[in-house]
Amino acid sequence: MERGPLTKSMKTKSNAGQAMRAARRRLNWTQLELARRVGITESLVTKIETGRATPERELKEAIAKALNIPTWEVGI
């Protein structure tokens, strides 16, 4: 059951984070390894993957490039 206007937004963040996590795992990278390659903290990777943080467009592009996935998979 969906509740309120935030539900769709939360699902979008979650889907982007899930896609990011799946791509990272396909490469057998830890969150720390992705963080180092992109220049962010491991904590921020965790927050993005769980939908607790939404990165700016430039960071989404850097993450997509590092993971070799289309930018739309990370919510652009």
The CATH number given to whatever domain includes residue 47 is 1.10.260.40
Domain with 52 in it: 9-70
How is residue 52 annotated by DSSP? S
| 56 is a domain residue | yes
| 3 is a domain residue | no
Place of tokens 């720390």: 32
Distance between CA 36 and CA 72 in Å, rounded?
22
Percent of the chain with pLDDT over 70: 82
Predicted confidence (pLDDT) per residue in 39-54, tens digit: 999 999 999 999 999 9
pLDDT in tens, the chain (76 residues): 444 343 344 445 568 899 999 999 999 999 999 999 999 999 999 999 999 999 999 999 999 999 999 999 888 7
| 16 is a domain residue | yes
pTM of the full predicted structure? 0.79
Count how many domains the chain has.
1
